[in-house]
Structure 1
Amino acid sequence: MEKILEIQGLSKDFFLHEQKREIKSCRDISFALDKGGFIGIVGTSGAGKSTVLRCIYRTYLATTGSVIYDSLSYGKLDLVTASERQIIHLRKAEMGYVSQFLSILPRTTARQHVINGALDAGFSYEEASQKAEEMLRYFKLHENLWDIYPNTFSGGEKLRLNLAHAMVKAPRLLLLDEPTASLDNHTKRLVKELLAKLKSEGTSMIGIFHDLEFMEGLCDKVYNISQGTFC
């Protein structure tokens, strides 16, 4: 099986300058993700699960190790040493990231936020608008919310908007950091169904979940991260 992502010896340390103290997060993480595969990550809070995803997405720069991504744009590329320009392009064109927290440009409506995700993936504005509306409806965001700023949304509404923005691209690589944390059971099922559809269409995924029942039938492999290392 071809690999889309190969991680070797990944570690991340944080230095608290005010306290002159170093915190060691994930340590010596190594695993590979098959093209079209889905890896689930579980573990206790604070073990370093989110840090692994952020090092892949390059929100954090790994302290040691390599993250080799087989990209369409550049071929095999180490995301640890890739340029900022390359990372920005990959985030727009090939990668998706869903977190529990909404990150959105100022004065951007919910509808435009999802349209922007589709535009990044290369769709025309007309196609992007249509796909955005389909995705907003899919995640049960009421039409009266589409053209307002999402800072007033509830936690669940913000998470559904995050999901719509990331999934409208149908990215090659999708990273999911607790994508169902504040969702009701019905919306969780919608998320699971769409993830299964994306997987069947070739999207490769890594997801962090506390809800082990949610992962059943979805993940090909599950890793437990304990005290910063995979086991």
Structure 2
Amino acid sequence: MLSCDSFMRLVLFHDSRDEHRAQLRTGEQPQHHGEDVRLPARSNEATRIPQPATATQAPEGLEPLSLDALEVAPRTSRAERAVVEIFADVSRETVLGYDGRPTHLNVGEILPGGVSILLREIQIDERDKFVGTGAGLGNMIAQVVLQTKVYRAIGIESRQDVLRAGPDPMNSSPFAMTFQERAPLFCKDVRDIRLSIEAPFADATIVFWNNLLFQQRD
């Protein structure tokens, strides 16, 4: 099972400093500045948590990505690098989603390294269908597809303005065909979906529920 500390490391918390772009490009975890960052209440659940797999260390001197390189290089490090490159140009404002809107609509995204921590705890193979609620840009869905042999990874996001920022960079990447075949994204409120009986969600083997409240600051 994931410990509380492990789960807290999964999520990128944004403060008022404009650090998101640099952190996303480098894959670094955000730096906490004294009491500037306050941890919000959160709840993450997955329907299936098998034993953890072995972690893979990123090699030195990564070469530019290609489909062939992703297959022959350590899968974890290449998938993280791919996700960073694909979504690097998405604006900080889109990811934060504040702009005076209510707190419950704030977004934020999980860093690629955080997704890898989760995936080490969930042994996914070609028989699995992964469903992620609160998918945001779809970056986690993209990484699940690139980093595992999952049959399909489905993303659900209620905010159209956020979700529509993801497909364009995904479809212009070297992995466009893979995403189109195995990573569908749906703009829906999960409260309006009957997950247990409604296609294509009903036959999911893993459901990741990300419910995170950000503390909004001026």
Question: What TM-score comes out, normalization by structure 1 length?
Answer: 0.29
Q: Which has the larger radius of gyration?
A: 1
Question: What TM-score comes out, normalization by structure 2 length?
Answer: 0.30
